[in-house]
Amino acid sequence: MNALDSLRQSGAIRLDAEESAALAEALQGIPGEVWLFGSRVDQARRGGDVDVLLLTDQPAFETSQTVATRFFSRCEERIDVVVFDPARLNVEQQEFLNRIKRVRLA
């Protein structure tokens, strides 16, 4: 069982088994911190896309596209991937991080 499965089974995140496996595969080899946020970390909500936040020094656009493409190739669910460089956060990005409810995946 991977970390995503443990979080899923504990009720910390709302992903089904296919989404969990697709996300784990999509994130392989991506360095940095990975967080799930949005409706998928709120048990009271239903549906919604998969919102992923990556804190990495890797190129934002390319990293986002890589993760989204890998995920969608295995699971045809909507995914949004936000990439921030933790060493270069601007005021808006820091405020965003302070306001969102998120669950660390890796």
Closest of 65, 66, 3, 58 to residue 35, by C-alpha = 3
Average pLDDT on 15-37 reads 94
Residue 1's pLDDT band (boundaries 50, 70, 90)?
A: very low
Residue 11: per-residue pLDDT: 85
Domain that holds residue 7: 3-104
pTM of the model: 0.91
Radius of gyration of the chain (CA): 13
**Cα 57 to Cα 83: distance, rounded to the nearest angstrom:** 9
Q: What is the mean pLDDT of residues 19-42?
A: 94
Summarize pLDDT for 46-76 with one digit per residue, the tens: 878 999 999 999 999 999 999 999 999 999 8
Domains of the chain: total: 1
Report the Cα 40 to chain-centroid distance in Å: 10
What CATH code is carried by the domain that includes residue 14? 3.30.460.10
